[in-house]
Amino acid sequence: MAHLGQINLQWSISLIQALIDQGITRFVISPGSRSTPLALAVARNPLAQHQVIIDERSAAFFALGQSRQQRSPSVLICTSGSAVANWLPAVVEANHAAVPLLLLSADRPAELHQRGANQTIEQEQLFGVQVRGHHSLSPPDEEQDPTAALTTLLQEMMVQLRQPVPGPVHINIPFREPLLPETFDSIDWSPAPIQFLPQRTLSRRWLLLNEAAEKIHQHPGIILCGEGHYPDTFYNPLNQLAERLDCPIMVDPLSNLRWGHAPSARILTHYDATLRNSSSQPPSPQWVIQFGDFPLSKTVANWLTQNTIPTYFTIQYQRLWSDPESLATEVFHCSPEQFVNALLKQLSEPAQLPEWNHHFTTLEQQAHRWVSPYPLCTQQLLHTLLNQLPEESVLFSANSMMIRDIDGWLPADKKSLTLHANRGASGIDGNLSTACGVRSVVEAEVPVVALLGDLTLFHDLNALSLVQQLEGEFTIIVVNNGGGGIFSYLPPAELPEFEPLWLTPPEIDFKQAAKLYQIEYYRIDEPLDLQQQLAHPLQKRGAKLIEWVVDREATITAHQQYWESLQ
């Protein structure tokens, strides 16, 4: 009779090797007892790349960042009990952002449940609707052939991770004690590979889009590009389509279409500001084509909803449904590139709508020329950063004001950049952990910059412990505006309870926080030679934390002056 510890370990070795055979090689492990067979199987596999992160919540966001950057799932491993529950915020983000993530939770066997056993909770369906699939397994035993037991599970799991919309998958694995064998002499560290069924995609002839073309050709409209995965080959056909339709393209920063391309007069990046004044708004578009998620700009949403738009196409591809304002009139299930190329074939004659385009381009140029009179506001930080960063740099943005300022103030540029943000659920927690995960899978010579607010860093302060484990250039820029600055633009700002209930300044000494984790610290709070002040720490190798101290009231005034100037 085989030793149960040997069965546990052999089963875990087969599982980990099967994942590696499918190209899933990155593992993030939080230490614990019940997950011992899984952790050891990873640690002793020379093809597995693993990171040990003590805090499960931070570990989950770290793995999320890896999966975002590499567009392939990382694997989380943790022990039983509340450890698993700490994954939930990152799982919610992965679900709503369509990021693949594999969750391997160890569990106690059924006979220990509902008996008051230590570190035992109900882990089946723990994540509910937030995962693409949940699989609760039986404990490994001598009756199970690991290869046979895992074949069906892994076939289904691989599909759920990636199709039709990528997302998280949870596998809950109970282990009985003993968890490990007494000796390792009989362990097969190179098990036979699991044979996966080939996956086929049926090709089909695209229906000609002549009806769609008739609805939009020679009529004023716009193209929206929200967050999504666009190949490098998409940009030129997209511009050709805009030329053929004689329309502008509103490009959300998370589309990553703003950067790395030759300048195009069709690309709009300042629409959040130019659409704010009703006196300068263009007339209603007759059609909209939306690629990817709905843009993060609320100003765009308000402008579209106050108009009646007879034709609104959404192109649905590997993303969750994104029509928060219920504007869609037709849905196309295809890649953005497929749609553009098919539609171009139907548009032989270019449209002629000079007045429509002139309205957008005039305000866009006006917005591009505007410079804040307040040197330490976020606009100056972003413009200075854009000038300083080298090609191929990677940015990670927090939510709230930071991503909105990037949307409103960071223009198109031929310099190639990649921007990430946790906009699936738009939470404040786990942002630095996610940025650390991104840093861990980017080539060491490529700079990675995390742009965070003071409250955002406060929510994930223990992630500073991860920073020194990382290789490569990593800069954390904390925009310290004394709390939740975004609420200054919302109705609560007028209430006497504004500061204690909404602003909530964290009052953290970030210099001491950086010192605790042995991270180089810089403070920028003087408006003198900002280029040089930022250039010096950016050029330093390794990890550093820059605290950019801004005057919140001056920043509010800068926004208001900017918006009012565009008429």
How confident is the model at residue 17, as a pLDDT? 96
- 380 strand-pairing partners: none
Query: What domain range is 159 assigned to?
Result: 4-174
> Over 80: is that where the pLDDT of 2 sits?
no
Query: What are the backbone angles phi and psi of residue 335, rounded to the nearest 5°?
Result: -75, 155
- Summarize pLDDT for 272-315 with one digit per residue, the tens: 999 998 888 888 999 999 999 999 999 999 999 999 999 999 99
Pairing of strands 330-333, 267-268: unpaired
Residue 192 within any structural domain of the chain: no
Q: How far is CA 182 from CA 178, 186, 352, in A?
A: 9, 10, 79
How confident is the model at residue 201, as a pLDDT? 46
Neighbours of 349 (CB within 10 A): 8
Q: How far is CA 327 from CA 48, 284, 289, in A?
A: 46, 13, 11
Residue 188 within any structural domain of the chain: no
How confident is the model at residue 277, as a pLDDT? 84
| Among 185, 362, 387, 376, CA closest to 281 | 362
What is the DSSP code string of 20-35? Answer: HHTT--EEEE---STT
DSSP assigned state of 345:
T
Residue range 449-478: mean pLDDT, rounded: 96
- Name residues whose C-beta falls within 8 Å of residue 141's C-beta, 6 or more positions apart in sequence: 4, 7, 176
Residue 536 within any structural domain of the chain: yes
Q: Are residues 397 and 339 in the same domain?
A: no
Q: Are residues 256 and 403 in the same domain?
A: no
* Stretch (H or E) spanning 566: none
Q: What is the 3-state secondary structure (H, E, C) of 189-223?
A: CCCCCCCCCCCCCCCCCCCCCHHHHHHHCCCCEEE
- Name residues whose C-beta falls within 8 Å of residue 541's C-beta, 6 or more positions apart in sequence: 473
Q: Are residues 363 and 376 in the same domain?
A: no
Q: Are residues 349 and 466 in the same domain?
A: no
Helix (H, G, I), strand (E, B) or coil at 134: strand
pTM of the model: 0.93
Residue 8 within any structural domain of the chain: yes
Residue 278 within any structural domain of the chain: yes
For 473, how many CA atoms within 13 A lie in the half-sphere containing its CB? 17
What gap in Å lies between CA 430 and CA 101, rounded to an integer?
A: 15
CATH number at residue 152: 3.40.50.970
Tokens of 180: 């490990």
Tokens of 28: 């993030």
* Strand ranges (E), 210-282: 221-225, 249-251, 267-268
Query: What are the backbone angles phi and psi of residue 511, rounded to the nearest 5°?
Result: -65, -45
Q: Number of structural domains, the chain?
A: 3
* Percent of the chain as helix, strand, coil, to the nearest 5: 40, 15, 45
Q: Are residues 381 and 359 in the same domain?
A: no
> Over 90: is that where the pLDDT of 241 sits?
yes
Instruction: Report the range of poorest mean pLDDT among 42-46, 140-144, 516-520.
Output: 140-144
* pLDDT-based confidence at residue 198 (cuts at 50, 70, 90): low
How confident is the model at residue 397, as a pLDDT? 98
CATH number at residue 238: 3.40.50.1220
Average pLDDT value for the chain: 92
Q: Are 510 and 516 in contact (CB under 8 A)?
A: no
Residue 336 within any structural domain of the chain: yes
- Summarize pLDDT for 386-439 with one digit per residue, the tens: 999 999 999 999 998 999 999 999 999 999 999 999 999 999 999 999 999 999
Q: Are 534 and 388 in contact (CB under 8 A)?
A: yes
Q: Are 300 and 432 in contact (CB under 8 A)?
A: no
Q: Are residues 351 and 389 in the same domain?
A: no
Q: Are 347 and 240 in contact (CB under 8 A)?
A: no
What gap in Å lies between CA 18 and CA 151, rounded to an integer?
A: 9
What gap in Å lies between CA 64 and CA 57, rounded to an integer?
A: 11
What gap in Å lies between CA 554 and CA 557, rounded to an integer?
A: 5
Q: Are 100 and 67 in contact (CB under 8 A)?
A: yes
Judging by beta carbons within 10 Å of its beta carbon (0-12, 13-18, 19+), is residue 233 exposed, middle or buried?
Answer: exposed
User: Which among 368, 392, 416 is the end of a domain?
Assistant: 368
User: Which among 128, 152, 174 is the end of a domain?
Assistant: 174
What gap in Å lies between CA 138 and CA 26, rounded to an integer?
A: 25
What gap in Å lies between CA 73 and CA 52, rounded to an integer?
A: 17
Q: Are residues 375 and 520 in the same domain?
A: yes
Q: Are residues 449 and 558 in the same domain?
A: yes
What gap in Å lies between CA 399 and CA 387, rounded to an integer?
A: 23
| Among 212, 122, 223, CA closest to 174 | 122
User: Which among 320, 351, 368 is the end of a domain?
Assistant: 368
The vertex-225 CA angle with 169 and 382, nearest 5°, equals 95
Q: Are residues 374 and 364 in the same domain?
A: no
What gap in Å lies between CA 305 and CA 284, rounded to an integer?
A: 10
Q: Are residues 353 and 378 in the same domain?
A: no
DSSP assigned state of 176:
P
- Summarize pLDDT for 303-352 with one digit per residue, the tens: 999 999 999 999 989 888 899 998 999 989 889 999 999 999 999 889 99
Neighbours of 541 (CB within 10 A): 8
- Summarize pLDDT for 201-239 with one digit per residue, the tens: 444 434 557 888 889 999 999 999 999 999 999 999 999
How confident is the model at residue 557, as a pLDDT? 87
How confident is the model at residue 202, as a pLDDT? 40
Residue 73 within any structural domain of the chain: yes
Q: Are residues 505 and 537 in the same domain?
A: yes
Q: Are residues 356 and 387 in the same domain?
A: no
- Name residues whose C-beta falls within 8 Å of residue 152's C-beta, 6 or more positions apart in sequence: none
Residue 400 within any structural domain of the chain: yes
